[in-house]
Chain A
Amino acid sequence: EAQVTQNPRYLITVTGKKLTVTCSQNMNHEYMSWYRQDPGLGLRQIYYSMNVEATDKGDVPEGYKVSRKEKRNFPLILESPSPNQTSLYFCASSSPSVPNNEQFFGPGTRLTVL
């Protein structure tokens, strides 16, 4: 089944404790993105990647890092999480070969930083 998977689905952590949220897609897509969803703000792009070893900042990149060492994986790293990073995070993937520019979303990771 074609899908985007994220782990963990839920995470509660404390300020300053480094964490990584993994994202993997099995559709051989070139493009991958991370978004965060906050009430009243919709989804905002954090980082995106056009292909392996090609990443760039989205609209809200502060406090986050990403890497793209393999085509299928795009982990999101919070080196020193803070409470304002409490949010719902979505990974997405797409490809120029996909009709209508559709992006495929993972199930989401709900992060709470205390």
Chain B
Amino acid sequence: GEDVEQSLFLSVREGDSSVINCTYTDSSSTYLYWYKQEPGAGLQLLTYIFSNMDMKQDQRLTVLLNKKDKHLSLRIADTQTGDSAIYFCAETLSGGYNKLIFGAGTRLAVHP
């Protein structure tokens, strides 16, 4: 079945790196995403990775994908207070233009 799991909370000091982890169960995932939700706001696509890739870097963001272990991580370098938000891991399956399967979301708190 389809299931995406992630830890619920992460607290980091400003300037440190944050690593948010996610595991998924469906091996037919085509794309895996990280969405950011700031307080009172909608979902913003942060980054994504295609299932045949191992790593993707985009400025302060690094996504690592381990297909064997079905593990996805998001690393935010030099974390800032503006990075405080809920981060959702999500997957879409082959041909799945109509459905995203979300994790429960990780609340990232950045403190001085």
Q: Within the assembled complex, what's the spacing in Å between the Cα atoms of A43 and B41?
A: 14
Q: How many residues of A contact B (CB 8 A)?
A: 27
Contact status A107-B104, CB under 8 Å = no
Contact status B48-A107, CB under 8 Å = no
Nearest Cβ distance between residue A104 and chain B, in whole angstroms?
Answer: 8
Residues of chain B with a CB closer than 8 A to A95's CB? 97
Residues of chain A with a CB closer than 8 A to B48's CB? 100, 102
| Given A40-B8, A101-B96, A90 contacting B43 (CB threshold 8 A) | yes
Taking beta carbons and an 8 Å cutoff, which residues of A are in contact with B? Answer: 30-31, 33, 35, 40-45, 48-50, 58, 90, 92, 94-96, 100-103, 105-108
Residues of chain A with a CB closer than 8 A to B103's CB? 42
Contact status A43-B100, CB under 8 Å = yes
Q: Within the assembled complex, what's the spacing in Å between the Cα atoms of A108 and B45?
A: 15
For the complex of A and B, list the 9 residue pairs with the smallest distance between their C-beta atoms, beginning with the closest: A42-B102, A43-B102, A48-B98, A105-B43, A107-B42, A42-B104, A31-B98, A105-B42, A101-B92
Interface of chain B residues 61 through 96 with chain A (CB within 8 A): 88, 90, 92, 96
Contact among B4, B41, B99 with A107 in the assembled complex (CB-CB below 8 Å)? B41
Q: Within the assembled complex, what's the spacing in Å between the Cα atoms of A94 and B98?
A: 7
Residues of chain A with a CB closer than 8 A to B97's CB? 30-31, 94-96, 101
Q: Within the assembled complex, what's the spacing in Å between the Cα atoms of A49 and B4?
A: 23
Nearest Cβ distance between residue A66 and chain B, in whole angstroms?
Answer: 13
Residues of chain A with a CB closer than 8 A to B105's CB? 42
Say yes or no: is B21 at the interface (Cβ < 8 Å to chain A). Answer: no
Give me 27 A-to-B residue pairs in the complex whose CB atoms sit less than 8 angstroms apart, sorted by A's number.
A31-B97, A31-B98, A33-B98, A40-B8, A42-B4, A42-B88, A42-B104, A42-B105, A43-B90, A43-B100, A43-B102, A44-B102, A45-B99, A50-B98, A58-B99, A90-B42, A92-B100, A94-B97, A100-B31, A100-B48, A101-B96, A101-B97, A103-B100, A105-B42, A107-B41, A107-B42, A108-B41
Contact status B102-A101, CB under 8 Å = no
Closest A residue to B6 using CB positions = A42
Residues of chain A with a CB closer than 8 A to B102's CB? 35, 42-44
Residues of chain B with a CB closer than 8 A to A33's CB? 98-99
